[in-house]
């Protein structure tokens, strides 16, 4: 196999061909991966140098099978080492990486497809519908809806859950207008384009939650059309939670009766967390909402993107179609769906239970407060919304640091999502790294914090002007 070990411009150099390098040495693989990532080599260089990605044809006579298998094993071994190293420095995205599903590895030998309706048997017998329904019933209890009143399915992630919920709203009100705050996930506006729905973007407060006065004004402007409303149970960047009760009250005050609006709750991350937070607003089907979606790979923690979508059974009939080919009814976005994801979710929920999840939620909130307090103590502007595990702070002026810790950035701010796998020790490692590099940004040994008051409010800004105002 062609290629040699070494990264352009990096300190790690080995003058041997790629296929002669001792990839069997775990420590050597890890050292190489760490150096590559620390050197911040571009993605293409990493792919071209470490991961020979071209698919080549095996020899016709098959004589080099063992050599080929060894080559592929080597590529995967160094890839695994790089993924291990990247996982150590993962703070900016809401994925729970604290999981172990080794006991389920044998199921990789089966092609499990949950096509059709989870509650109706299909012609395809290799499925996991019983697991899927078990997970759905768990979430139905969490969000307070009786088994005979709901319908749902395991999706491929939060985006699909939003697509499905908004589609149900569109089908219920073909001439309805979609209302979503400007801090809503991009999938909401993508759904509006796909479904050719008129979409009204509503302003947001500093916290990231919807601006209720602006929402009211825009409803009044279009009061003759039914309303399809996306309510954020935790916004992507700031973790702002829309007040569901106030949204409903605003609709009714203007004259929207319950038969003239549909509410979809995007609870990708917080939809699972909020029920376990004391004094947090309740997200419940006892209120006039149409659907809730949550991501399974976020707070639960799964090795593949997945999610849960729950709606009222009455709404699903508009989408349902009998499909003779599969011998079932279908009302999903994708049709065929992963049968493995429901099993992973079922296993995780059984393993943790309500008590286990509650402990993880409290740990995340405590650690998020610790991070925010440490940042402010160092003179760094930072904000943490109530009921949130997302800490928003000044965007580091060092792209290598952003890349290393995989921070999610928007304009002058960045954020860290404190998930169950993010320990105090990991936060301290990040803070020490940030503080050390921060001292070099100005070139004068003292950093003047940038003003982020427009993003997080004056009280959370540490710039010279607003820190003095707070004295």
**Catalytic: 388?**
yes
The pLDDT score that the predictor gives to residue 14 is 44
pLDDT in tens, 378-437: 999 999 999 999 999 999 999 999 999 999 999 999 999 999 999 999 999 999 999 999
**196 burial level (CB within 10 Å; 0-12, 13-18, 19+):** exposed
Measured between its terminal Cα atoms, the distance across the chain in Å is 66
Per-residue pLDDT tens digits for 346-363:
999 999 999 999 999 999
Maximum Cα–Cα distance across the chain:
80
How far apart are the C-alpha atoms of 462 and 450, rounded to whole Å? 8
Q: Which of 388, 442, 453, 467 is catalytic?
A: 388
pTM of this structure: 0.88
Distances in Å between the Cα of 467 and the Cα atoms of 122, 443, 458, 463 are 64, 22, 8, 6
pLDDT band at 61; cut points 50, 70, 90: confident
Q: What is the mean pLDDT of the chain?
A: 89
E strands in 395-452 = 408-410, 413-417
**% of the chain with per-residue pLDDT over 90:** 74
DSSP 299: T
Instruction: Return the pLDDT at 444.
Output: 60
146-185 residue pLDDT tens: 999 999 999 999 999 999 999 999 999 999 999 999 999 9
- Dig out the tokens for 269 from the structure: 């991350």
C-beta separation of 309 from 167 below 8 A: no
pLDDT band, very low/low/confident/very high, at 22 (cuts 50, 70, 90): low
Work out the burial of residue 31: count CB atoms within 10 Å of its CB; fewer than 13 is exposed, 13-18 middle, 19 or more buried.
middle
Q: Reply yes or no on whether the pLDDT at 133 is more than 50.
A: yes
């Amino acid at each position: 196999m062609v290629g040699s070990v070494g990264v352009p411009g990096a300190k790690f150099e080995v003058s041997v061909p790629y296929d002669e390098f001792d990839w069997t040495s775990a420590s050597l693989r890890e050292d190489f991966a760490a150096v590559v990532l620390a050197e911040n080599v571009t993605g293409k260089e990493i792919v071209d140098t470490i991961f020979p990605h071209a698919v080549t044809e095996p020899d016709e006579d098959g004589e080099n099978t063992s050599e080929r298998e060894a080559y592929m094993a080597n590529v995967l071994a160094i890839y695994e080492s790089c993924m291990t190293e990247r996982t150590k420095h993962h703070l900016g995205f809401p994925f729970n990486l604290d999981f172990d599903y080794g006991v389920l590895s044998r199921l990789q030998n089966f092609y499990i497809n949950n096509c059709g309706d989870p509650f109706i048997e299909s012609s395809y017998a290799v499925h996991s519908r019983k697991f899927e329904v078990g997970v759905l019933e768990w979430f139905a209890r969490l969000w307070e809806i009786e088994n005979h009143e709901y319908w749902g399915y395991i999706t491929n992630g939060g985006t699909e859950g939003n697509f499905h919920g908004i589609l149900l709203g569109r089908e219920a009100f073909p001439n309805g207008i979609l209302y979503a705050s400007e801090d809503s996930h991009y999938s909401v506006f993508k759904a509006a384009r796909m479904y050719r729905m008129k979409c009204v973007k509503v302003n947001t407060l500093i916290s990231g939650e919807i601006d209720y006065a602006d929402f009211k004004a825009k409803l009044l402007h279009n009061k003759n059309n039914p309303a399809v409303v996306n309510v954020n149970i935790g916004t992507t960047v700031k973790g702002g939670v829309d007040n569901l009760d106030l949204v409903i009250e605003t609709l009714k005050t203007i004259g929207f009766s319950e038969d003239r609006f549909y509410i979809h709750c995007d609870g990708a991350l917080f939809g699972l967390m909020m029920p376990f937070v004391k004094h947090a607003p309740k997200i419940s089907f006892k209120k006039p909402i149409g659907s809730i979606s949550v991501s399974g790979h976020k707070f639960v923690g799964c090795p593949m993107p997945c999610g849960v979508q729950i709606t009222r059974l009455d709404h699903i009939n508009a989408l349902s179609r009998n499909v003779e080919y599969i011998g079932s009814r279908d009302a999903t976005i994708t049709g065929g769906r992963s049968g493995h994801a429901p099993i992973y979710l079922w296993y995780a929920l059984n393993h943790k239970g309500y008590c286990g999840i509650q402990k993880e939620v409290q740990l995340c909130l405590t650690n998020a407060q610790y991070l925010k307090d440490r940042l402010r103590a160092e003179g760094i502007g930072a904000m943490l919304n109530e009921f949130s595990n997302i800490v928003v702070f000044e965007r580091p002026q060092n792209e290598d640091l952003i890349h290393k810790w995989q921070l999610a950035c928007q304009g002058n701010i960045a954020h860290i999502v404190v998930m169950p796998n993010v320990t105090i020790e990991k936060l301290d490692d990040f803070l020490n790294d940030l503080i050390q590099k921060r001292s070099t940004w100005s070139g004068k040994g003292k950093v003047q914090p940038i003003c982020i008051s427009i993003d997080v409010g004056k009280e959370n800004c540490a710039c010279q002007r607003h820190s003095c105002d707070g004295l």
